[in-house]
Chains A and B, each alone.
Chain A
Amino acid sequence: MNNRLKVLRAERNWSQADLAEALGVSRQTVNALETGRYDPSLPLAFKIARVFDQPIESIFSE
C-alpha cells in the first residue's frame, strides 16, 4: 500500500517525532509507515486522517 504521509508531513514542517507524538506511536513506527513497509491498522489510519484533516482515501492508495 502506498501513502502520502511524508509529503503531508513535509507540507506542515513536522518532524517524524512530531507526527509520532500526534499519533501516539513511536518515531520508528512513523518511519515504517512512511516507507510503506508497514500498513497501519484501521484505527490508526483513521487517526492519521484526523491529524491531517483529510479523508483516508486521499492519504492511502493501493
Chain B
Amino acid sequence: MPSAKPKRPLTGVAAFGLVFGLSVLIGVFAGIGSIFAGDVPGPAGLAASLAVNGVAMAGALILCIWWWRRIDEAAREAHKWAWWWGGCTGALVGATILLTVLSRDSDMGFGSLPLHEVLVAGMGLMFTCQVIGYCIAWAVWWVKRR
C-alpha cells in the first residue's frame, strides 16, 4: 500500500512570500479601517482607531512569529545581528539628522508646520533610517559568510 507523502512545512521564499502578501493585506485593512475610524468623533472614534491599529499590529506579530519559527538558526542570527547593529546605527543616523534639523528650526521653517506633521515626519525619518541600516547589516552578515 503506498504511503502518503509527508507534508513538508512551508519554508524559504514561499513562506516569505506568504508573509509578505498577508502583511500587505493587513496594511490595507489598517488603512481602510483608519479611514472609517477617523470619521468617528470622540472617545468612540479613539477606541475604534485603537482597535483597528491593535488588530493590525497583532496580526503582524502573529505573522512574524509564524515566519520566525520557519527560518533556521543562521537566518535568525543574521536578523538578530541586523536588528542590533543595523537598527541601532540607523537610529543614530536618524537621530543625528533629526536633532540637527530641529535645532535649525529658524532655517528649516518647521515652526509653521502642525505638531503632528513634525512628529510623523520624525517618526518616518527614524523608521526609514533604521530599515536601511537593518537591510545593509543583514546583507553584510550574509556576504561575510559566503
Contact = CB atoms under 8 A, between A and B. Distances in A.
A26 B72 contact: yes
Contacts of A15: none
Nearest to A35: B145
A26 B146 CA distance: 13
Contact of A31 (B71, B72, B146): B146
Interface stretch (B17-25, B73-81, B98-106, B123-131): B73-81
B12 interface: yes
Interface in B49-80: 71-75, 77
Interface of A is mostly: loop
Interface of A: 24-26, 28-29, 31-33, 35, 37-38, 40-41, 44
B31 to A, nearest CB: 34
B144 interface: yes
Contact of A25 (B73, B142, B144, B145): B73
A32 B72 contact: no
A37 B142 CA distance: 10
Contacts of A28: 74-75, 142, 145
Contact of A37 (B72, B75, B145): B145
A32 B74 CA distance: 8
Contacts of A26: 12, 71-72, 74-75
A7 B12 CA distance: 27
Nearest to B11: A26
B57 to A, nearest CB: 29
Contacts of B142: 28
Contacts of B74: 25-26, 28-29, 32-33, 38
Nearest to A27: B12
